[in-house]
A and B are shown apart, each in its own frame.
Chain A
Amino acid sequence: MTTTGIVEGKPVARTDGRKRRPLRTRVMDVVQAYGVIFGLLALLVVMFSPFAIIAINAVKTPTDLAANGPLSLPQSVTMDNIVTFWNAVDFGGALRNSMVISLLVAVFATILSLLNAFALGIGNIRGAVWMLVFFMLANILPNEAIVYPLYYMAKFAGLYNTQLAVVIIFTVIQSAFGTYFIASVMRAFPREILDAAKVDGCSNMQLLVRVVIPVMRPSLMVFMVFAFIWTWNEFYLPMVFLISNSQYTVPVSVAVTQGQHMMNESQVAASALLGVLPCVVFFLLFQRTLTRGITAGSYR
């Protein structure tokens, strides 16, 4: 339908006086637009191909893999690899551990950040700016700068190889960012509302609970979602602090057990798939929150 148009390709003067662009330009626009879309789609396919390859091989028998290679579709779908891996490492336990740790950290880190941010962002206590710099620096400290003394302390306190140790440590680490993030949102809190509440005789605690928290709820929820996902995805510290199979989190379970059990290639693919799936669920649940990104003070 458009091929004939290309030949003409001359500007057509319209009687109503509005300029109409030449047909050739319009055709080129359409070609360009679909070129861009197909280019992006191709890129997206490349981005997703690692997941697709893992998925088809997780449900393929080892004989099928050996005979037809990693790219062929499975001749028959089997759950054996997944079941074998699941039982070998008690993956259900790992899911439960990750869920408990990440939920507790998300809640506690939000509360701790809120209290800090209330003093810094609303209360504007003396040295608030320096305190914020302190929290920001604490946030960028590498794990290895604190891991060994924490490991030593945990052993001393009898908390080594317990989820409590991991919950305490990540609550503090995540709230370093949370304090910075929530305080910078709070600094834009309408002063008139605060002053009005004070005039009405609100105590600081009432101010926090009845005035600040309701208004801040969206930002608090955003931080809670990110704190949950970040904690779920952590690897170094959980690997150091949780050493028995029954305590493992999902990433530790998937990454560490590779060497421990004599797993074949198909079971490794199954383990990777099981590690990916919960995150796909979180992604679908929290997509709107996650895909806006978060940097201190610039979540919109």
Chain B
Amino acid sequence: MKRRSSLDGGYAIFMLPGLLAFLLVIVGPFLATVFISFTTWNGVQAPKWVGIDNYFNLVSDPYFVASFQNTFVLLLAMVVIPTILGLLLAGLLYSYVARRFGPKTASFFRAGFYLPQVMPVAVAGVVWGWILTPDGALNSILQGVGLGVLAQNWLGDPGIAIFSVMGMMVWFQIGFPLVIFFTALQRMDQTVIEAASLDGASGWQTFIHITIHQIRPEIFVVVLMTTIATFKVFAQVFVLTRGGPGTATYVPSYYTYLNFFQKDQVGVGSAVATIVTVVVLLVAVVFINFQERRDLAKES
């Protein structure tokens, strides 16, 4: 039930600058992109209406197909592995290290694992690109420990390049789930945990059955945000591989960039961008619906 109070009225005016800015910078340009996706346009002459031709052609466009296939592989390095590692590390740091060695020690490790997160992805890409060259540091390390046979052309081999990019992604991403989960654990209801341990549950059992259950909202947020981030991957690929070798590391963002600014196929780029946007919005809506239904089920 809505309560009328002295706070009604006269507030809409505060939204005015924000709404105008959003119409100009986000809504307008997005609608324009959707419109352009139904045209052929090189950015200079007048755009020519072609209906759904751009979308139709994309179905058989190997670059487009590869970029989406790669994105699904990247979900492993952007979402699945960081979330699981983040959960394990957060649980270990909070439930064990903080108790055994004090909260300062736990904070130290948390900060250390988080550090890559404050870097620009593009700069992290240059760091990793330097290490992954054929005569670079990684191959030197492998030779140094007698595993020279494992040395690879990490970014130049079409079968391996995507895994190299994924390695960098896991390294970069791990801090995000870790800090979110650690913060979640701090607000957790400790009495349940204590009760479980009095009942003889091991640390591992408590973690699996109680901890994970209690911080489910945060797990949900992390999975949602990192899934969306996966569809937006750009700088990693731009800096490390430029989508290559061949189409081995193509991603949608990079493909739109090429279409917009190198090939002058603005219509095609806009169609790809529109598809990515629809996918991202669908992911968000499905996730949020799922979460709300769970909340409702819990309440009833």
B58 at the binding interface (Cβ < 8 Å):
no
User: Given A168-B25, A272-B130 in contact, is the A146-B97 Cβ separation under 8 Å?
Assistant: no
Within 8 A of A (CB), among B147-180: 171, 174, 176, 179-180
A148-B36, A272-B130, A275-B126 as given contacts; A235 in contact with B277, CB under 8 Å:
no
Inter-subunit contact A255/B126 (CB<8 Å): yes
Q: What is the chain B residue whose CB lies nearest that of A292?
A: B183
Chain A 126-185 residues near chain B, CB threshold 8 A: 131, 135-138, 140-153, 168-169, 171-173, 175-176, 179
Query: Which residues of the partner chain A approach B191 to less than 8 Å between Cβ atoms?
Result: none
| Docked complex Cα distance between A113 and B277 (Å) | 23
Q: How far is the CA of A250 from the CA of B235 in the complex (A)?
A: 14
A221-235: CB near B (< 8 Å → 1, else 0) gives 000000001001111
User: B65 interface residue, CB < 8 Å from A?
Assistant: no
Complex interface residues of chain A between 96 and 126 (CB less than 8 A to chain B): 112-113, 115-116, 118-120, 122-125
Measured between alpha carbons, how far is A195 from B128 in the docked complex, in Å? 56
Question: Which residues of chain A come closer than 8 Å to B179, judged between CB atoms?
Answer: 290-293
Would you call B68 an interface residue if the criterion is a C-beta within 8 Å of the partner chain's C-beta atoms?
no
The reply to whether B6 and A291 contact each other, CB–CB distance below 8 Å, is no
Contacts of A140 in B (CB 8 A): 228, 280-281, 284
- Specify which chain A residues have a CB less than 8 angstroms from the CB of B211 in the assembled complex: none
Q: A51-B127, A141-B30, A144-B273 are in contact. Are A283 and B118 (CB under 8 A)?
A: yes
The chain B residue with its CB closest to the CB of A299 is B183
Name B's A-contacting residues (CB within 8 A).
5-8, 10-15, 17-18, 21-22, 24-30, 32-33, 36, 43, 92-93, 96-97, 100-101, 105, 107, 109-123, 125-128, 130-131, 133, 135-137, 140-141, 144, 171, 174, 176, 179-180, 182-184, 186-187, 217-218, 221-222, 225, 228, 231-232, 234-235, 238-239, 252-253, 256-257, 260-261, 266, 269-270, 272-274, 276-277, 280-281, 284
A interface list, Cβ under 8 A from B = 33, 36-37, 40, 43-44, 47-48, 50-51, 53-54, 57, 69-71, 112-113, 115-116, 118-120, 122-125, 131, 135-138, 140-153, 168-169, 171-173, 175-176, 179, 191, 194-195, 198-199, 204, 208, 229, 232-236, 240, 250-252, 254-255, 258, 265, 268-269, 271-272, 275-276, 279-280, 282-283, 287, 290-293, 295, 298-300
Question: 10 interchain pairs (CB within 8 A)?
Answer: A47-B112, A69-B135, A119-B14, A137-B281, A142-B276, A149-B29, A208-B14, A236-B234, A275-B123, A279-B118
